[in-house]
Amino acid sequence: MKSRSTFLCVLTFLIATAACAQTSGSKDLTAAPESSPIVGVWRAQADGLPFVTLTITNESGSLSGAILFYLHRREEGKPVTSTPGIPEPLFNLNFDGKILTFQVSHRRAHPPRTLSDPPVNFRLKLTGANAAGVSMGNLTNESEGSPAFPMVRTDY
């Protein structure tokens, strides 16, 4: 199980790096210093299982990244399971020092009915650090008005 999590983390990082290489010339991305509090791997859990992994990089001097959602299944009489989806690149990133806003394509979410869907808007608001000094934040899907999910930043 740990090797699968490591594989998914590496896969997410590679996709984020590829997205960075493809969009490094774009003027829509906002540059952030290398020590930016937003750069890193952010994770959220639900039911004690992975729910969202968000990878933010600054490899080319501009922010880029990818997001990976997990499908939680609840079958009667069985424990909840968590299955990773397909990592999606982030675009239109903007970081003001406290809040990161970005968009994610919704085309592959539930095809074919989502093929014409507009991008989904997200916001990651930094909320400080926990007792161990780990960065914390809240991720909100602004397009759907979902509740904020607590996120924890981890090292690569």
Q: How confident is the model at residue 70 (pLDDT cuts 50, 70, 90)?
A: very high
Residue with the bigger pLDDT between 133 and 47: it is: 47
In this predicted structure, the answer to whether residue 1 has a pLDDT above a threshold of 60 is no
Q: Out of 17-21, 99-103, 138-142, which region has the weakest mean confidence (pLDDT)?
A: 17-21
Which structural domain range is residue 39 located in?
A: 2-154
In this predicted structure, the answer to whether residue 68 has a pLDDT above a threshold of 80 is yes
Tokens of 44: 């959220």
Q: How confident is the model at residue 117 (pLDDT cuts 50, 70, 90)?
A: confident
29-43, 59-73, 102-116 — most confident range: 59-73
What's the pTM?
0.72
Mean pLDDT of the chain: 79
Residue with the bigger pLDDT between 82 and 146: it is: 82
Q: Please check whether residue 29 is in contact with residue 65, taking contact to mean a CB–CB distance below 8 angstroms.
A: no
Residues 91-101 have pLDDT tens digits of: 999 999 999 99
**pLDDT in the model for residue 39:** 93
Domain count, the chain: 1
**pLDDT in the model for residue 120:** 93
3-state secondary structure of 136: strand
Q: Cα(16)–Cα(50) distance, rounded to whole angstroms?
A: 19
Coarse DSSP helix, strand, coil percentages of the chain, rounded to the nearest 5 percent: 15, 45, 45
Average pLDDT over residues 16-42: 54
